[in-house]
Amino acid sequence: MTQFVKLQVLEFPVSSDVQWAVASPHLTSCLLPARHAFSVREGGVSEGPFASLNLGFATGDVRARVNENLRRFASALNVPPGSLITVSQVHGDRLLEATAPQDGDEVPPPLGEADGVWTRTAGLAVGVKTADCVPILISDAAGRCVAAVHSGWRGTDLRISARAVETLAVQGVEPASLVAAIGPCIGACCYEVSEELAFRFERAFGAEVVRRDRPKPHLDLPRAVRLTLVAAGVRPDRIDVLDACTACDPARFFSHRRDRGISGRHLSAIVAGK
Ligand SMILES: [Zn+2]
């Protein structure tokens, strides 16, 4: 039951320095009230295992290409590159607030070490990088206070998505008014885990987050994230879950596990409205 739609065309700013004029294939959720995008592989200049819209520097791609890809993604979000704020992800449960854009025609370096970033500054985009881990975009009902969260198994175990809900609640945003979209990540179909990790998740989240219909257990991370959001007060009908597995779909998605570490990174980002 997904409400994600594949957009054929996003709106582009009419500006002479925007060189990207092709239709954007990025994924969006029609539930989220703020401008946002979950990137897919299409639409970039990287080659080989990074083809084509690799948005991460950490796995060995050519820097200039990643920078061009980042500029394109910012353009798809209709924000200047300096307004696309990311963090240096460390599989923890901390969130940082992004408060100001940076100058220059490149996407700025990460704000700091964290696995979530939020903002209430209009026009600022906050994003997280993933290639199998779960990206979550969250917004208040008005689209003014937004967050992006990176949740791998460690972050999910630490319930970082609940930390994001709490962080926004401190700003006066009622959890029941939030809208969340869980983006492309590795599905239970492909996420084989150790018995130890499976037990740990069953204990913490219930039997439904582990599939045991094959010889080795398989973890359902997006389900654990969804349960976490609901326990934190987000209404189930305000949580969208993309029915896609990064490891199953090499044409659309990078996958750290499938590609044995030599893979690109997706960026999922959301823009705070006025
Ligand atoms: Zn799969």
Q: Angle, to 10 degrees, between the axis of helix 221-231 and the axis of helix 160-170?
A: 30
pLDDT tens for each residue of 108-123: 999 999 999 999 999 9
Separation in Å, CA 179 to CA 136, 176, 223, 261: 10, 8, 16, 32
Specify the number of domains making up the chain: 1
Q: How far is the CA of 244 from the centre of ligand 1 (A)?
A: 8
The pLDDT of 197-202, averaged and rounded, is 98
Q: What is the pLDDT of residue 218?
A: 98
186 CA from centroid of ligand 1 (Å): 6
Inter-residue contact 184 to 135 (CB < 8 Å): yes
Q: Percentage of the chain with pLDDT > 70?
A: 91
pLDDT at residue 9 above 50? Answer: no
Distances (CA, A) of 169 to 66, 72, 126, 225: 35, 33, 18, 18
Pairing assessment for the beta strands 146-151 and 179-182 based on DSSP bridges:
unpaired
Q: Please state, rounded to an integer, the average pLDDT across all residues of the chain.
A: 92
Measure the CA angle with vertex 258, ends 108 and 47; round to 5°: 50
**Which pLDDT belongs to residue 104?**
86
SS3 of 88, please? strand
- Cα(116) to ligand 1 centroid in Å equals 25
Question: In the prediction, which pLDDT does 16 show?
Answer: 31
Which of 7-11, 125-129, 212-216 bottoms out in mean pLDDT, i.e. has the lowest?
Answer: 7-11
pLDDT, tens only, 224-264 = 999 999 999 999 999 999 989 999 999 999 999 999 999 99
Q: How far is the CA of 168 from the centre of ligand 1 (A)?
A: 32
Residue 210 reports pLDDT greater than 80:
yes
Global pTM value: 0.92
Distance 259 CA to ligand 1 centre (A): 13
Count CB-CB contacts under 10 A for residue 42.
15
pLDDT in tens, 137-153: 999 999 999 999 999 99
Interval between CA 54 and ligand 1 midpoint (Å): 20
Q: Would you state the pLDDT for residue 11?
A: 37
What is the predicted pLDDT for the residue at 1?
A: 42
Give Rg (Cα) of the chain: 17
Q: Which domain holds residue 230?
A: 4-271
Alpha-carbon gap, residue 176 to 230, rounded angstroms: 9
| Tokens describing residue 216 | 């080795």
Return d(Cα 149, Cα 62) in angstroms, integer: 26
Distances (CA, A) of 132 to 178, 224, 247, 274: 24, 14, 7, 32
What's 104's domain CATH number?
Answer: 3.60.140.10
